[in-house]
Structure 1
Amino acid sequence: MALSTSQRASYSRDHHSKIPFLTEPRHLAGPGDPRHVTHALLAAGWSVTSAPGDPRTVLAGPAQARHRLVLDPLSTSYWQIESADWSWCASFGRMVPAEIVAGFTDRLIAGTPRSGIGPWARMEEAGWVVERRPDGTAEACSSGPHQIRADLAKVYEDNPEQTAWRIEALPEYGGAPVWRMWISGAIPEHLLDGLAEQLVTTAPVVRGMYDPESHGARQEPSGLAPEEAVEAHFARVDAFDRRARPPRRTRPAVSLPEPTAPSTPASVSLR
């Protein structure tokens, strides 16, 4: 479904006074606007199923793939995503940037797996240190002072088939992680690949100037006007809307017989 006029107006109103700044590294840029994720889902045919007055926002996928997303401001698992058949689930802390969450949900919207090199190969290609173990578990760590650590471990020692991902952003001088995500179950690899793609990229994200929720990230002017940043958001959303629409069926051209010249009436003699 396309975004409503009121949804567009609300987003525009919230961002019209924010001066867009390029913010990096992206994993420390703060949560950003969750509508980067939810607007794309709505445009792709998801619907809001939470009850009026519920502090949570609950979205469900289209009928053929009823995945479920819960945005819960009262939970440490700010983002919770569950598969339609309950075979996997994922949770993301509130400080995980919306652009990184979108790496996962954008692939979920696509429905069919897109070819990718896989999460571990993608991390290795980006220069992360990756250790793959014979038992199928693995660990990876990014370089630099503000590291991201990804760990794929067994949930239960007596059940080697059941594994879970734990991914954390670590502060430079130790202490509790800046954010954490947890993914368990039979998670499709193309979803993990989309997530890894966003984790390893060095491209900055756009945040408002002096965003108080960035965690040690650097900012510099983007050169964009607030209106341009808003237009870029809606261009992304409208692209999902166009993909979700069924192709228009055109009727085949019908050949009509050529008109015949009218016959000349016989002359009438009046006496």
Structure 2
Amino acid sequence: MPVSDQQVNAFAEKHAWQIPFDTGPRHLAGPGDARHVTHGLAAAGWKRASDPLSPEMVLASPDHRYRLSFVPTSGLSAWWQLRAEPTDTEPGWYAEFGELVPAEVLGGLADALVAPSVTGHIGPLDVLGSAGWLINARGVASSPDAACRVEQRAELHEDSLAFWHVEVRDPDRGRHSPRLWHARFDPRTPQHLVNAFVAALADPAPLQRGMYDRTAHHSVTKEPSPLRPEQVVEAHKTRLNMIRARARTARRQQSKPTTTPATSSTARPAARR
């Protein structure tokens, strides 16, 4: 399901009249435009697997292993759900994201899913520490405004594995205030995907929002952006082109046959002089 000209034009029409405001911090910027996620996956070859006339959307990867569900009518706290089916060599896993997760942050994870990059042995706390977040002695990372916390948690039963949990709460009312949004990663979620999510979350660059766009909290900072509306649209188109190219490269690398040097059982040692 490549992104059609009509779909790109619909995105452009929405943003062409909307004066962009630089909005931050990211965890309070609000959901933004879900097409940052859905257009990106479509550009990588994902296809819609749900009723086109339904407000709910399900996208499936070309190999049918991954499914992303967006259910804006859900009464649950998680509007986005990402599932990976198990394979012969890899386990299945699950991740969920709350209603107010910024689409650009979720898009960072989606980009890493369609075109994985090597992140070495660093973990999410390393990523957040490098971004200037505070890491306490219990291994909990907090944003500079203390509204967002990232940590590993475990279920109550003893044999449970630790999972990564992101939680954003009202910065005016502290840790025991109502939750604004959350993200939860199954213990088997590949670490490079969690890294990609928290890297996009902690990126100090502001997100672009319209004047009346919904945000997660009133304390969010909004300033007129130096970007013009047409530049926001062009940035979206450029990102889609990059995703297409990266996805093609990743598919070519995966399809290359594994070869080993041929050996001959009749090979003889070189003759001595």
Q: Provide TM-score, normalisation by structure 1.
A: 0.81
Matching residue of 1:21? 21
The alpha-carbon deviation at position 105 of structure 1 amounts to 1.3
The alpha-carbon deviation at position 131 of structure 1 amounts to 4.4
The 1:142/1:212 distance shift into structure 2, 3 A limit, reads: closer
The 1:116/1:211 distance shift into structure 2, 3 A limit, reads: farther
The 1:43/1:171 distance shift into structure 2, 3 A limit, reads: same
For 2:121 and 2:239, the matched residues in 1 are separated by: 21
Matching residue of 1:208? 210
For 1:112 and 1:126, the matched residues in 2 are separated by: 19
Q: Which runs of 5+ in 2 are unaligned?
A: 253-273
For 1:122 and 1:112, the matched residues in 2 are separated by: 15
For 1:209 and 1:72, the matched residues in 2 are separated by: 25
The alpha-carbon deviation at position 57 of structure 1 amounts to 0.5
Superposed, which structure 2 residues align to 1:47-86 within 5 Å? Answer: 47-63=47-63, 66-75=65-74, 76-85=77-86
For 1:73 and 1:62, the matched residues in 2 are separated by: 24
Q: Which runs of 5+ in 1 are unaligned?
A: 249-271
Matching residue of 2:134? 129
Matching residue of 1:107? 112
**What SS class does the counterpart of residue 159 from structure 1 fall into?**
coil
The alpha-carbon deviation at position 232 of structure 1 amounts to 0.9
Contact 2:31 2:214 in 1 (8 A): no
Q: Percent identity among equivalent residues?
A: 39
The alpha-carbon deviation at position 164 of structure 1 amounts to 2.0
Contact 2:111 2:243 in 1 (8 A): no
Which digits, 9 at most, give the CA deviation of each residue in 1:124-163, with x for residues without a partner? 2233332466xxxx4222232x521112111243204x22
The alpha-carbon deviation at position 107 of structure 1 amounts to 0.9
Asked if 1:238 is matched to 2:241, the reply is yes
Q: Supply the AA of the counterpart residue of 1:207.
A: R
**What SS class does the counterpart of residue 40 from structure 1 fall into?**
helix
Asked if 1:32 is matched to 2:32, the reply is yes
Structural RMSD (CA): 2.2
Q: Supply the AA of the counterpart residue of 2:237.
A: F
**What SS class does the counterpart of residue 143 from structure 1 fall into?**
coil
For 1:112 and 1:34, the matched residues in 2 are separated by: 23
Residue in structure 2 matching 1:90, options 74, 90, 95: 95
Which digits, 9 at most, give the CA deviation of each residue in 1:227-250, with x for residues without a partner? 2211111111111112233699xx
The 1:112/1:125 distance shift into structure 2, 3 A limit, reads: closer
Contact 1:116 1:190 in 2 (8 A): no
Contact 1:50 1:58 in 2 (8 A): yes
Contact 2:83 2:95 in 1 (8 A): yes
Which digits, 9 at most, give the CA deviation of each residue in 1:68-109, with x for residues without a partner? 100110122111001122721111111011111122211111
Q: Supply the AA of the counterpart residue of 1:200.
A: A
**What SS class does the counterpart of residue 162 from structure 2 fall into?**
strand
Q: Provide TM-score, normalisation by structure 2.
A: 0.81
**What SS class does the counterpart of residue 186 from structure 2 fall into?**
strand
